[in-house]
Chains A and B, each alone.
Chain A
Amino acid sequence: MEEKVRKIIYKHRNDDSKLLAILHDVQNEFGYIPEDAIKTIAKELGMKKGEVYDAASFYSFFKFKPEGKHEVMICDCIVCYIKGSERIIERIEKEFGVKMGETTKDGKFTFKIVEGLGHCEHSPVMMVDGKIYGDLTPDKAVEILRGCE
């Protein structure tokens, strides 16, 4: 991993404000920002690890724990709520043995609650790896997820 992080840092060696660019690339590479990557970045940039973490944790976009292979966002806005999103959430939590915000033990899925995916005409909706699925029922949601590799 150190080698990969070093390569990313080297790529941005001429950038003025390179820290954020490096953090973005590290997250793209590993799916999150590992602690060891923070240490390597700090060492290479002449910073303390805490300084890197201070800057990175400002942005909710950066993750500091590994996430599942598939990112599942379930909309719990007022429209989806009226159309039964809570039942879908309940079912998924039971089916996959997790709470919202967590990752399944096999590392396959990370579930998140979001408010407003912009597809109210098909509510309730969820987004799996960037793709929208609408007009869900609890069964249909589980079926879609079971179909994921």
Chain B
Amino acid sequence: MIITIDGKRVEVEEGKTILQVARENGIEIPALCNYIDGNPIGSCGLCVVSIKNGGREYHARACATKVAEGMEIETHTQEVEDARRTILKMLAEEHGEIGGEAKELFLKYGIKIKSDKKREAPNLLNNPFISFNPNACVSCFRCVQACSLIKENHVLVRENRGSNIGIVAGINEALKDAGCAFCGACVDACPTGALMDLTAKEEETKKITSICPYCGVGCAIDYYVSGDEIIYAKGSPNGVNKGDDCIKGRYGWQFVHSEERLKKPLIKKNGKFEEVTWDEALNYVASRLKEIKEKYGADSIAGLSSAKCTNEENYLFQKFMRIVVGTNNVDHCARLCHASTVVGLFKVFGSGAMTNSLEDLEKDAELYFVIGSNTTHAHPVIGTMIKRSVKGRGAKLIVADPRDIELAEYSDIHLRHRPGTDVALINGMMNVIISHGLEDREFIENRTEGYEKLKEIVKKYTPEYVEKITGVPKEDIIKAAVLYAAHRSAIIYAMGITQHTSGTANVASLANLALLTGNVGKRGTGVNPLRGQNNVQGAGDMGALPNVLPSYAKLGTRRAREIEKIWGGKIPDKEGLTIVEMMHAASKGVIKAMYIMGENPAVSDPDQKHVIQALKNLEFLVVQDLFMSETAQLADVILPAASSLEKEGTFTNTERRVQLLHRVLEPVGDAKPDWWIIQEIAKRMGAEWNYESPKDIFEEIRKVVPQYRGITYERIEKMGLQWPCPSMEHPGTKILHEDTFPTPNGLAKFSPYEYKPPAEEPDEEYPFVLTTGRTYEHFHTGTLTRKIDGFNELIPEAFVEIHPEDAEKLGVEEGDCIEVESRRGKIRVKAKIARIKKGVVFIPFHFAESAANVLTIDALDPEAKIPELKVAAVRLKKC
């Protein structure tokens, strides 16, 4: 199509707006309200242009008018420029405090912003993170569009019309009450400086991009830094998150500046911590560990590595435990989150990682089956992606969760199954698929083995039978199964699946379901575990596990011998202890010393009373952390560590993407990166290690871990690569199992399980089922997020979610104190009447003073040794 713009004939694509075409041709038309191309708001009128076409002459908004054949467009006639000046003048007379990018526009048109008018601020002002200046807001509604179209939150809306129009949150409420996610999309959209981050100030900043320290999505965050202080931060457009972020990515960095950061090494002398030099602390740790090793043997020492630390540090930590200390007693918190994923997926697919990528899931999944994942809270950027796909392009959504999680609002079907009945539910869906003839016969024939056994086992799981076990109406089971089988479907799951005594069975059953319908190895499908911590994937890849070495190499094999050659030391063949087993061994006096890096088992692990007793029973405990955590308080030595914003290294995100950290700040006080600390202890115990930087360590990882071989710091400087990446030429792997499975015969293996009830079911004495999890605002044991005032303002304390009818029976109202008691202990928390399955209660586990893990049970999955954090029997009474 040919049009003329400012006298220039140009060929343009149909469907574009005049504004788009002008900008593509280097013509700058002023516009305040235009934000998302193709979704004009049309509130400011500044982009008005003059148009001649088919003998007609008229004016129109360039943002909202599509180009048409033969159009002659003039963008800067006297007439339209006068109109623009008039609009700007009117705005300037009404809004005296306009700032931001709009200010430049006023300057360009020579208009002075001058008005004494003071406007009333809406109630949204009442919040800890975002400021709003009504005297700068020109009601362009870019923020409203960002909140609705980009984030699908619909919290910011318009109120009234005409000259009274303005923005409000919800029904003119405080942001928190209106359901604001504090993602800051509105702040990024605002052109007048009306909406701003509260921490932002007029100061010269430099931008440093690094990886968010919180969940496994691995968002790239742009940190704006002045001196040694972060001023504000926002999601980087150049990461997997493509500019998205959440409350933790955007505001969660504030812990790095906390007064409570540990700044000096501490040794407990006569029951009190005293500041010491690094030399004294390191010498003391090395000599005590040596002593204990000599006295009781290497297996009397255990170490906890950390999914919050880098690949390099995890690699070094397990290497230290294995060849310097001489034990395989090394584990990390993945034991508590995705141990069953690794075992379950390995069994079926031959590899224990997320099969697909965020990019193909966002674009191509026709259906999301979200089970045991409160995605919008625990992995918010993926949650937003799902909401956008459902609302924006009509993707289907099945949610299976006993709680009314936010995604349930967006779902086609919500299956509220009883906690711990996942295997029955999934077997039931497979029963329906087979009985309706919806299985993918070609895929089963060519890519799998063991189908007959699966068929036999799921036979008895008829919808009627499964309804009895799960409490889900049989019609919903049938509908969900048919929908899943009939679409290009992606399974997304998290801790609701893995943290059970049947965790491995749950994971394997989901993998069976995907195999049955051929939903593996293709774009928009797969089995996708969402990793909880920033580097759970990497910590596992690096072998911070008691039964496998880096790259999941088995102990005592030829691979182990090859690694020994690179390391120059002997790796013991005997498997080490897992986290929960370590605690049992410590309480029995078998484990005498522990080295804990960046973990807080005193709050995170099940049956807290027992864990604390075990840690107290140790002869020697070293804790390496940013803060005086509940675990650190029990230590003999505390080593102050640098945060991930203060160091270099790599994290591997949930989709197997190895991403490079850039140092944003210098470490606070005398804090040191974990890799440095580990190496200094190792040297003092006789190791000849000479790593000068994380890059040195990564180069060694490339030799030991074949999946990482083709990845270098240079290659991932801007954007990470997804493993397997076996050579320098390899582009990384977006989707696993496209042609073959990494099993001996290349086939996936159906691994069916029978339903087994959870370890502890409700009874007359303890009639409620307790399930635990995260909130949106806080993270894990709160070591980081509870140092941030704004987060504490939003969620100050623990609560127990309870069904309205259960609350009524107990005579409990919103906010009342409730005592929750299990066979292991009791805590007091505030009641929150919520939409949750009757007979089920939920408590977040962030709060040490009312720790949910006082109540939980440490019953283990027999294969993955993951504890059943998601089901415990409890009783409730009003305090």
CA of A1 to CA of B159, assembled, Å: 25
A 48-64 binary contact with B (CB < 8 Å = 1; else 0): 11110110011000001
A 1-42 binary contact with B (CB < 8 Å = 1; else 0): 000000000000000000000000000000000010010000
B157, A51: Cβ atoms closer than 8 Å = yes
Contact residues in A for B159 (Cβ distance below 8 Å) = 53-54, 57
B154, A51: Cβ atoms closer than 8 Å = yes
- Report A80 CB to chain B, min CB distance, Å: 25
Q: Report if A130 contacts B (CB, 8 A).
A: no
Contact residues in B for A51 (Cβ distance below 8 Å) = 154, 157
Which single member of B154, B160, B161, B168 contacts A48 (CB below 8 Å)?
B154
B161, A50: Cβ atoms closer than 8 Å = no
CA of A64 to CA of B168, assembled, Å: 14
Given A48-B179, A49-B170, A50-B171: A57 and B160 interface contact (C-beta under 8 Å): yes
Contact residues in A for B65 (Cβ distance below 8 Å) = none
B157, A54: Cβ atoms closer than 8 Å = yes
CA of A46 to CA of B391, assembled, Å: 11
Contact residues in A for B160 (Cβ distance below 8 Å) = 57-58
- Report A56 CB to chain B, min CB distance, Å: 9
Chain B's interface size range is: 10 to 19
Contact residues in B for A58 (Cβ distance below 8 Å) = 158, 160-161
Q: Count chain B CB atoms within 10 A of each CB in A47, A49, A51, A58 and give the residue with the most.
A: A49
- Report B394 CB to chain A, min CB distance, Å: 14
- Report A65 CB to chain B, min CB distance, Å: 12
Contact residues in B for A50 (Cβ distance below 8 Å) = 154-157, 168-171, 178
Contact residues in B for A57 (Cβ distance below 8 Å) = 158-161
Contact residues in B for A38 (Cβ distance below 8 Å) = 171
Task: Considering the complex, give the chain A residue whose CB is closest to the CB of B410.
Answer: A46
Q: Count chain A CB atoms within 10 A of each CB in B153, B157, B160 and give the residue with the most.
A: B157
Q: Report if B172 contacts A (CB, 8 A).
A: yes
Contact residues in B for A48 (Cβ distance below 8 Å) = 153-155, 170, 179
- Report A4 CB to chain B, min CB distance, Å: 19
CA of A64 to CA of B158, assembled, Å: 15
A53, B154: Cβ atoms closer than 8 Å = no
Q: Report if B260 contacts A (CB, 8 A).
A: no
Task: Considering the complex, give the chain A residue whose CB is closest to the CB of B172.
Answer: A53
- Report A25 CB to chain B, min CB distance, Å: 19
Which single member of B153, B161, B171, B409 contacts A53 (CB below 8 Å)?
B171
Task: Considering the complex, give the chain A residue whose CB is closest to the CB of B156.
Answer: A50
Q: Is chain B's binding surface mostly helix, strand, loop or mixed?
A: loop
Contact residues in B for A49 (Cβ distance below 8 Å) = 170-171, 178
CA of A47 to CA of B148, assembled, Å: 11
Task: Considering the complex, give the chain A residue whose CB is closest to the CB of B147.
Answer: A50
Contact residues in A for B170 (Cβ distance below 8 Å) = 48-50, 53
Task: Considering the complex, give the chain A residue whose CB is closest to the CB of B155.
Answer: A50
A54, B158: Cβ atoms closer than 8 Å = yes
Q: Count chain B CB atoms within 10 A of each CB in A49, A51, A54, A64 and give the residue with the most.
A: A54
Given A46-B409, A48-B179, A54-B159: A35 and B171 interface contact (C-beta under 8 Å): yes
CA of A53 to CA of B172, assembled, Å: 9
Contact residues in A for B168 (Cβ distance below 8 Å) = 50, 53
- Report B238 CB to chain A, min CB distance, Å: 31
B 162-180 binary contact with A (CB < 8 Å = 1; else 0): 0000001111100000110
CA of A42 to CA of B154, assembled, Å: 12
CA of A49 to CA of B156, assembled, Å: 10
Task: Considering the complex, give the chain B residue whose CB is closest to the CB of A39.
Answer: B171
Task: Considering the complex, give the chain B residue whose CB is closest to the CB of A51.
Answer: B154
Task: Considering the complex, give the chain B residue whose CB is closest to the CB of A47.
Answer: B154
Q: Count chain B CB atoms within 10 A of each CB in A35, A38, A47, A48 and give the residue with the most.
A: A48
Task: Considering the complex, give the chain A residue whose CB is closest to the CB of B178.
Answer: A50
- Report B334 CB to chain A, min CB distance, Å: 36
Task: Considering the complex, give the chain B residue whose CB is closest to the CB of A46.
Answer: B409
Instruction: Enumerate B375-414 residues with CB–CB distance to A below 8 Å.
Output: 409
Task: Considering the complex, give the chain B residue whose CB is closest to the CB of A43.
Answer: B409
Instruction: Enumerate B350-385 residues with CB–CB distance to A below 8 Å.
Output: none
Task: Considering the complex, give the chain B residue whose CB is closest to the CB of A48.
Answer: B154
Instruction: Enumerate B291-322 residues with CB–CB distance to A below 8 Å.
Output: none
CA of A48 to CA of B168, assembled, Å: 13
CA of A58 to CA of B161, assembled, Å: 5
- Report A127 CB to chain B, min CB distance, Å: 24
CA of A57 to CA of B166, assembled, Å: 11
CA of A47 to CA of B171, assembled, Å: 13
B 409-446 binary contact with A (CB < 8 Å = 1; else 0): 10000000000000000000000000000000000000
- Report B185 CB to chain A, min CB distance, Å: 15
CA of A46 to CA of B154, assembled, Å: 12
CA of A136 to CA of B570, assembled, Å: 106
Task: Considering the complex, give the chain A residue whose CB is closest to the CB of B162.
Answer: A60
Contact residues in B for A46 (Cβ distance below 8 Å) = 409
Contact residues in A for B169 (Cβ distance below 8 Å) = 50
Contact residues in A for B153 (Cβ distance below 8 Å) = 48
5 nearest A-B residue pairs (beta carbon) = A54-B157, A48-B154, A50-B157, A50-B170, A53-B171
Q: Taking beta carbons and an 8 Å cutoff, which residues of B are in contact with A?
A: 153-161, 168-172, 178-179, 409
Q: Taking beta carbons and an 8 Å cutoff, which residues of A are in contact with B?
A: 35, 38, 46-51, 53-54, 57-58, 64
A sample of 16 more A-B contacts (CB under 8 A), given A47-B154, A49-B171, A54-B158, is A35-B171, A38-B171, A46-B409, A48-B154, A48-B179, A49-B178, A50-B154, A50-B155, A50-B171, A53-B159, A53-B170, A54-B157, A54-B159, A57-B159, A58-B158, A64-B171
Q: Can you list 22 A-B pairs, Cβ within 8 angstroms, ordered by A?
A: A35-B171, A38-B171, A48-B154, A48-B170, A48-B179, A49-B170, A49-B171, A49-B178, A50-B155, A50-B171, A50-B178, A51-B154, A51-B157, A53-B157, A53-B159, A53-B171, A53-B172, A54-B158, A54-B159, A57-B158, A57-B161, A58-B158
